[in-house]
Protein backbone atom coordinates (compact mmCIF):
# COMPACT_ATOMS: atom_id res chain seq x y z
CA UNK A 1 0.00 0.00 0.00
CA UNK A 2 1.26 3.45 -0.91
CA UNK A 3 0.08 6.59 0.79
CA UNK A 4 -0.87 9.44 -1.54
CA UNK A 5 0.82 12.20 0.38
CA UNK A 6 -1.27 15.32 -0.25
CA UNK A 7 1.08 17.46 1.82
CA UNK A 8 4.10 16.46 -0.25
CA UNK A 9 2.34 16.91 -3.61
CA UNK A 10 0.90 20.24 -2.44
CA UNK A 11 4.38 21.38 -1.37
CA UNK A 12 5.79 20.50 -4.83
CA UNK A 13 3.05 22.47 -6.59
CA UNK A 14 3.45 25.43 -4.21
CA UNK A 15 7.17 25.47 -4.94
CA UNK A 16 6.44 25.63 -8.68
CA UNK A 17 3.90 28.41 -8.18
CA UNK A 18 6.20 30.38 -5.86
CA UNK A 19 9.01 30.23 -8.45
CA UNK A 20 6.66 31.38 -11.20
CA UNK A 21 5.20 34.20 -9.13
CA UNK A 22 8.69 35.37 -8.03
CA UNK A 23 9.80 35.48 -11.67
CA UNK A 24 6.74 37.47 -12.69
CA UNK A 25 7.40 40.02 -9.96
CA UNK A 26 11.15 40.17 -10.75
CA UNK A 27 10.23 40.91 -14.35
CA UNK A 28 8.25 43.93 -13.16
CA UNK A 29 4.77 42.42 -13.46
CA UNK A 30 1.84 42.73 -11.08
CA UNK A 31 1.54 40.17 -8.25
CA UNK A 32 -1.19 37.49 -8.66
CA UNK A 33 -4.14 38.25 -6.38
CA UNK A 34 -6.82 35.94 -4.96
CA UNK A 35 -9.76 37.38 -3.02
CA UNK A 36 -12.25 35.54 -0.82
CA UNK A 37 -15.62 36.58 0.54
CA UNK A 38 -16.76 35.08 3.82
CA UNK A 39 -20.28 35.68 5.10
CA UNK A 40 -20.90 34.90 8.77
CA UNK A 41 -18.57 33.01 11.10
CA UNK A 42 -19.00 29.28 10.44
CA UNK A 43 -15.86 27.77 12.09
CA UNK A 44 -15.13 25.36 9.21
CA UNK A 45 -15.45 28.20 6.67
CA UNK A 46 -13.22 30.45 8.81
CA UNK A 47 -10.63 27.68 8.86
CA UNK A 48 -10.81 27.12 5.06
CA UNK A 49 -10.46 30.83 4.36
CA UNK A 50 -7.55 31.04 6.83
CA UNK A 51 -5.71 28.23 5.04
CA UNK A 52 -6.32 29.94 1.69
CA UNK A 53 -4.76 33.16 3.07
CA UNK A 54 -1.73 31.27 4.41
CA UNK A 55 -1.28 29.39 1.14
CA UNK A 56 -1.33 32.66 -0.84
CA UNK A 57 1.38 34.04 1.41
CA UNK A 58 3.51 30.92 0.92
CA UNK A 59 3.54 31.31 -2.87
CA UNK A 60 3.84 35.10 -2.89
CA UNK A 61 0.29 35.91 -4.03
CA UNK A 62 -1.73 38.77 -2.60
CA UNK A 63 -4.81 37.61 -0.71
CA UNK A 64 -7.69 39.77 0.36
CA UNK A 65 -10.56 38.54 2.53
CA UNK A 66 -13.89 40.34 2.70
CA UNK A 67 -15.55 39.38 6.00
CA UNK A 68 -19.26 40.14 6.07
CA UNK A 69 -21.84 39.86 8.86
CA UNK A 70 -24.22 36.88 8.90
CA UNK A 71 -27.13 39.30 8.26
CA UNK A 72 -25.59 40.70 5.04
CA UNK A 73 -28.31 40.94 2.39
CA UNK A 74 -28.16 39.17 -0.95
CA UNK A 75 -28.00 42.57 -2.65
CA UNK A 76 -25.00 43.64 -0.54
CA UNK A 77 -23.19 40.41 -1.37
CA UNK A 78 -24.00 40.76 -5.08
CA UNK A 79 -22.64 44.32 -4.97
CA UNK A 80 -19.33 42.99 -3.64
CA UNK A 81 -19.26 40.31 -6.33
CA UNK A 82 -19.80 42.99 -9.01
CA UNK A 83 -17.09 45.13 -7.43
CA UNK A 84 -14.60 42.21 -7.51
CA UNK A 85 -15.61 41.39 -11.10
CA UNK A 86 -14.55 44.86 -12.17
CA UNK A 87 -11.43 45.19 -10.00
CA UNK A 88 -8.53 44.73 -12.42
CA UNK A 89 -6.14 44.06 -9.55
CA UNK A 90 -8.02 40.90 -8.57
CA UNK A 91 -7.29 37.86 -10.77
CA UNK A 92 -9.79 35.52 -9.18
CA UNK A 93 -12.09 35.28 -6.19
CA UNK A 94 -14.27 32.86 -4.32
CA UNK A 95 -17.39 33.23 -2.22
CA UNK A 96 -16.99 30.75 0.62
CA UNK A 97 -19.89 28.29 0.95
CA UNK A 98 -22.21 27.60 2.70
CA UNK A 99 -24.00 30.94 2.61
CA UNK A 100 -26.71 31.98 5.10
CA UNK A 101 -30.13 30.59 4.11
CA UNK A 102 -31.55 33.97 3.05
CA UNK A 103 -29.01 34.24 0.19
CA UNK A 104 -29.37 32.33 -3.08
CA UNK A 105 -26.13 30.42 -3.74
CA UNK A 106 -27.03 30.02 -7.43
CA UNK A 107 -27.63 33.76 -7.89
CA UNK A 108 -24.31 34.60 -6.24
CA UNK A 109 -22.29 32.04 -8.21
CA UNK A 110 -23.90 33.07 -11.48
CA UNK A 111 -22.99 36.72 -10.76
CA UNK A 112 -19.26 35.87 -10.68
CA UNK A 113 -17.41 36.79 -13.89
CA UNK A 114 -16.47 33.35 -15.35
CA UNK A 115 -12.96 34.68 -16.09
CA UNK A 116 -12.46 35.10 -12.30
CA UNK A 117 -14.32 31.96 -11.18
CA UNK A 118 -11.31 30.19 -9.64
CA UNK A 119 -13.61 27.86 -7.66
CA UNK A 120 -14.90 26.55 -11.01
CA UNK A 121 -18.50 26.62 -9.74
CA UNK A 122 -20.02 28.93 -12.39
CA UNK A 123 -22.21 27.15 -14.99
CA UNK A 124 -19.84 28.43 -17.71
CA UNK A 125 -16.85 26.78 -15.95
CA UNK A 126 -18.81 23.55 -15.48
CA UNK A 127 -20.05 23.62 -19.08
CA UNK A 128 -16.52 24.06 -20.41
CA UNK A 129 -15.38 21.13 -18.29
CA UNK A 130 -18.23 18.94 -19.59
CA UNK A 131 -17.36 19.58 -23.26
CA UNK A 132 -13.68 18.86 -22.60
CA UNK A 133 -12.47 22.45 -22.95
CA UNK A 134 -11.88 23.33 -19.30
CA UNK A 135 -10.82 26.73 -18.00
CA UNK A 136 -11.21 26.47 -14.23
CA UNK A 137 -11.75 22.99 -12.81
CA UNK A 138 -13.53 22.87 -9.43
CA UNK A 139 -10.85 22.88 -6.76
CA UNK A 140 -11.40 19.54 -5.02
CA UNK A 141 -11.74 17.41 -8.18
CA UNK A 142 -8.79 19.29 -9.70
CA UNK A 143 -6.75 18.36 -6.60
CA UNK A 144 -7.76 14.71 -6.99
CA UNK A 145 -6.70 14.76 -10.65
CA UNK A 146 -3.32 16.25 -9.67
CA UNK A 147 -2.78 13.50 -7.08
CA UNK A 148 -3.62 10.75 -9.58
CA UNK A 149 -1.38 12.31 -12.22
CA UNK A 150 1.59 13.04 -9.98
CA UNK A 151 1.51 9.53 -8.45
CA UNK A 152 1.51 8.02 -11.98
CA UNK A 153 -1.74 6.11 -11.33
CA UNK A 154 -3.13 4.60 -14.55
CA UNK A 155 -6.82 5.42 -15.10
CA UNK A 156 -7.32 4.26 -18.70
CA UNK A 157 -10.14 1.70 -18.91
CA UNK A 158 -10.44 1.48 -15.13
CA UNK A 159 -13.76 1.23 -13.29
CA UNK A 160 -14.15 4.28 -11.08
CA UNK A 161 -16.95 4.36 -8.50
CA UNK A 162 -17.80 7.76 -7.05
CA UNK A 163 -19.85 7.87 -3.84
CA UNK A 164 -21.83 11.13 -3.68
CA UNK A 165 -23.12 13.42 -6.44
CA UNK A 166 -22.55 16.91 -5.04
CA UNK A 167 -22.07 19.79 -7.48
CA UNK A 168 -18.71 20.52 -5.85
CA UNK A 169 -17.10 17.07 -5.91
CA UNK A 170 -19.01 13.92 -6.98
CA UNK A 171 -20.62 15.17 -10.17
CA UNK A 172 -17.58 17.02 -11.58
CA UNK A 173 -15.02 14.30 -10.74
CA UNK A 174 -17.26 11.65 -12.33
CA UNK A 175 -17.35 13.71 -15.54
CA UNK A 176 -13.63 14.53 -15.47
CA UNK A 177 -12.57 10.90 -15.08
CA UNK A 178 -14.90 9.73 -17.83
CA UNK A 179 -13.59 12.29 -20.37
CA UNK A 180 -11.20 11.31 -23.14
CA UNK A 181 -8.19 12.71 -21.30
CA UNK A 182 -5.22 11.85 -19.14
CA UNK A 183 -6.04 11.14 -16.35
CA UNK A 184 -9.46 10.00 -17.60
CA UNK A 185 -10.88 7.31 -19.89
CA UNK A 186 -12.49 5.61 -16.89
CA UNK A 187 -15.81 3.80 -16.87
CA UNK A 188 -17.55 5.70 -14.10
CA UNK A 189 -20.39 4.69 -11.77
CA UNK A 190 -21.82 7.62 -9.81
CA UNK A 191 -23.60 6.47 -6.64
CA UNK A 192 -26.03 8.61 -4.64
CA UNK A 193 -28.76 8.48 -2.02
CA UNK A 194 -31.11 6.50 -4.28
CA UNK A 195 -28.50 3.93 -5.34
CA UNK A 196 -29.73 0.51 -4.20
CA UNK A 197 -26.52 -1.51 -4.03
CA UNK A 198 -23.86 1.05 -3.17
CA UNK A 199 -21.74 -1.34 -1.09
CA UNK A 200 -21.63 -4.00 -3.83
CA UNK A 201 -20.82 -1.39 -6.49
CA UNK A 202 -18.05 0.12 -4.36
CA UNK A 203 -16.47 -3.33 -4.04
CA UNK A 204 -16.12 -3.53 -7.85
CA UNK A 205 -14.12 -0.28 -8.12
CA UNK A 206 -10.54 -0.07 -9.34
CA UNK A 207 -10.67 3.56 -8.20
CA UNK A 208 -13.05 4.42 -5.34
CA UNK A 209 -13.78 8.06 -4.59
CA UNK A 210 -15.59 8.59 -1.30
CA UNK A 211 -17.37 11.95 -1.22
CA UNK A 212 -20.50 10.91 0.63
CA UNK A 213 -20.17 13.12 3.71
CA UNK A 214 -20.46 10.36 6.33
CA UNK A 215 -17.57 9.69 8.70
CA UNK A 216 -16.12 6.18 8.29
CA UNK A 217 -18.75 5.10 5.73
CA UNK A 218 -16.35 3.03 3.60
CA UNK A 219 -15.35 -0.19 5.36
CA UNK A 220 -12.88 -2.89 4.28
CA UNK A 221 -15.60 -5.16 2.83
CA UNK A 222 -16.49 -2.36 0.35
CA UNK A 223 -13.01 -2.25 -1.17
CA UNK A 224 -11.56 -4.52 -3.85
CA UNK A 225 -8.02 -5.72 -3.09
CA UNK A 226 -5.55 -3.45 -4.90
CA UNK A 227 -8.02 -0.57 -5.36
CA UNK A 228 -7.04 3.10 -5.31
CA UNK A 229 -9.06 4.86 -2.59
CA UNK A 230 -9.49 8.64 -2.56
CA UNK A 231 -11.12 9.98 0.60
CA UNK A 232 -12.76 13.39 0.19
CA UNK A 233 -14.44 13.49 3.62
CA UNK A 234 -13.31 15.90 6.34
CA UNK A 235 -15.23 15.49 9.60
CA UNK A 236 -14.45 16.89 13.03
CA UNK A 237 -15.23 14.25 15.66
CA UNK A 238 -15.43 15.65 19.16
CA UNK A 239 -13.23 13.85 21.69
CA UNK A 240 -11.64 14.39 25.10
CA UNK A 241 -8.32 15.57 23.64
CA UNK A 242 -6.72 18.94 24.33
CA UNK A 243 -7.85 20.17 20.91
CA UNK A 244 -11.34 18.87 21.61
CA UNK A 245 -11.71 17.02 18.30
CA UNK A 246 -9.93 14.93 15.71
CA UNK A 247 -10.40 14.79 11.95
CA UNK A 248 -11.59 11.70 10.08
CA UNK A 249 -12.64 11.04 6.50
CA UNK A 250 -15.42 9.07 4.78
CA UNK A 251 -13.19 5.97 4.86
CA UNK A 252 -12.28 3.76 7.84
CA UNK A 253 -8.60 4.24 7.10
CA UNK A 254 -7.09 1.64 9.45
CA UNK A 255 -9.06 -1.30 8.08
CA UNK A 256 -9.20 -0.15 4.43
CA UNK A 257 -5.55 0.92 3.91
CA UNK A 258 -4.01 -2.60 3.99
CA UNK A 259 -6.26 -3.65 1.07
CA UNK A 260 -5.37 -0.73 -1.22
CA UNK A 261 -2.67 -0.11 -3.81
CA UNK A 262 -2.94 3.62 -3.01
CA UNK A 263 -4.94 5.57 -0.44
CA UNK A 264 -5.22 9.22 0.63
CA UNK A 265 -4.99 9.97 4.36
CA UNK A 266 -7.28 12.35 6.27
CA UNK A 267 -5.98 14.86 7.21
CA UNK A 268 -3.08 15.40 4.80
CA UNK A 269 -4.81 14.14 1.66
CA UNK A 270 -7.42 15.71 -0.59
CA UNK A 271 -8.05 18.67 1.76
CA UNK A 272 -4.59 20.19 1.33
CA UNK A 273 -4.79 19.72 -2.42
CA UNK A 274 -8.03 21.71 -2.65
CA UNK A 275 -6.30 24.88 -1.48
CA UNK A 276 -3.44 24.36 -3.92
CA UNK A 277 -5.89 23.90 -6.81
CA UNK A 278 -7.29 27.29 -6.01
CA UNK A 279 -3.79 28.77 -6.28
CA UNK A 280 -3.26 26.98 -9.62
CA UNK A 281 -6.55 28.39 -10.89
CA UNK A 282 -5.56 31.87 -9.72
CA UNK A 283 -2.30 31.61 -11.65
CA UNK A 284 -4.30 30.43 -14.68
CA UNK A 285 -6.65 33.43 -14.33
CA UNK A 286 -3.61 35.70 -14.16
CA UNK A 287 -2.01 34.09 -17.22
CA UNK A 288 -5.25 34.24 -19.20
CA UNK A 289 -5.66 37.94 -18.47
CA UNK A 290 -2.03 38.59 -19.20
CA UNK A 291 -2.14 36.87 -22.58
CA UNK A 292 -5.32 38.61 -23.73
N1 LIG B 1 -16.99 25.27 1.03
C2 LIG B 1 -16.45 24.03 1.10
N3 LIG B 1 -15.59 23.82 0.10
C4 LIG B 1 -15.59 24.94 -0.64
C5 LIG B 1 -14.88 25.34 -1.81
O6 LIG B 1 -14.09 24.60 -2.41
N7 LIG B 1 -15.14 26.60 -2.26
C8 LIG B 1 -16.03 27.43 -1.65
N9 LIG B 1 -16.23 28.63 -2.17
N10 LIG B 1 -16.70 27.08 -0.56
C11 LIG B 1 -16.46 25.86 -0.07
Please report the atom of ligand 1 found closest to the CA of residue 94: 9
Domain enclosing residue 265, as ranges: 139-270
CATH code of the domain in which 46 resides: 3.40.50.10860
pLDDT tens per residue, range 70-87: 999 999 999 999 999 999
Q: Please state, in angstroms and rounded to a whole number, the distance separating the CA atoms of residues 127 and 51.
A: 28
Would you say residue 254 lies in a domain? yes
| Closest C-alpha to 163, from 194, 197, 202 | 202
Please report the atom of ligand 1 found closest to the CA of residue 36: 9
Annotated catalytic residue, options 91, 96, 206, 231? 96
Same domain, 263 and 147: yes
pLDDT above 60 for 292: no
Choose one of 113, 128, 148: the last residue of a domain. Answer: 113
> End-to-end alpha-carbon separation of the chain, Å?
46
pLDDT of residue 44: 86
Ligand 1 centroid to 119 CA: how many Å?
A: 7
β-strand pairing of 245-248 with 235-238: antiparallel
pLDDT tens per residue, range 122-175: 999 999 999 999 999 999 999 999 999 999 999 999 999 999 999 999 999 999
Would you say residue 291 lies in a domain? no
* pTM confidence score: 0.93
- Verify whether residue 27 is a known catalytic residue: no
Q: How many domains does the chain have?
A: 2
Query: Alpha carbon of 188 to those of 159, 204, 244: distances in Å?
Result: 6, 11, 39
3-state secondary structure of 20: helix
Same domain, 157 and 259: yes
Taking all residues of the chain, what is their mean pLDDT, rounded to a whole number?
A: 96
Grade residue 291 by pLDDT with cuts at 50, 70 and 90: low
Helix H or strand E segment including 112: none
pLDDT tens per residue, range 195-247: 999 999 999 999 999 999 999 999 999 999 999 999 999 999 999 999 999 99
Q: Please state, in angstroms and rounded to a whole number, the distance separating the CA atoms of residues 90 and 65.
A: 12
Would you say residue 178 lies in a domain? yes
Annotated catalytic residue, options 5, 91, 117, 119? 119
CATH code of the domain in which 234 resides: 3.40.50.720
Q: Please state, in angstroms and rounded to a whole number, the distance separating the CA atoms of residues 138 and 167.
A: 9
Mutation choice for ligand 1 from 38, 39, 48, 98, CB with most ligand atoms inside 8 A: 48
Residue ranges of E strands in 13-153:
33-39, 62-68, 92-95
Amino acid sequence: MQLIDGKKIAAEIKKELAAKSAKLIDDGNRTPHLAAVLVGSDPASESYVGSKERACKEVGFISTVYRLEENTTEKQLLDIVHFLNSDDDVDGFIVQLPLPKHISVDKVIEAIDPSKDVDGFHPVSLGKMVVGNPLFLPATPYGIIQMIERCGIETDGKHCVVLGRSNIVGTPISIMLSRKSKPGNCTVTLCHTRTKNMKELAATADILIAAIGQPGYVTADMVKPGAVVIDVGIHRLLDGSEKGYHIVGDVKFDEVAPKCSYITPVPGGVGVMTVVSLLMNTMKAYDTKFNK
